[in-house]
Structure 1
């Protein structure tokens, strides 16, 4: 247990030191804002250079990522089927699929999946 805590502290210290060093030695500075602004043939830009996107698209992308991760969690269930009894394997798989189906049903009722609202 002490080895695990020590490894965690060492990793935390090492990552903190590297983060501070990279911030100090970075060539990027916030002093020159003119270089980071968009350039339009010497004129000031009329519009913002960033195009806004639909928040509905963002929500559907997040839901896709969540269900994609859930499927990747479900895939190893076939590998461990030999080491578990069939009843416990069906119980674990069925419970997980029921939770995923319940989440999908909630998203459908909440109309998060409909593109046009």
Structure 2
């Protein structure tokens, strides 16, 4: 990740939060299980946590907070956990695939910028 700007990272964080919110909502609308009978509870929980953490990470980055680098590490962990869960369902849920991709991108950027 070369020459990542703070503005680009803020956009990535907010895009990830949006994908997580969309995924959680789609999972909730399916009920307790998806079309393959998988329990979506863990996916919903991780998406909600990740969306909140990405939003805060974006806000801290936008304001140039002294805590942003430390928080980027936490955000990357949440994104990686969310991506791993969503990837379990990505082959039959487009919203999970989109969420996993957004989370992987955000995690990579967070780790790069925190370094």
Q: TM-score, normalising length from structure 1?
A: 0.34
Which is helix-richer, 1 or 2?
Answer: 2
Q: Give the structure, 1 or 2, with the largest relative contact order (CA under 8 Å, sep 6 or more).
A: 2
Larger Rg: 1
Q: TM-score, normalising length from structure 2?
A: 0.35
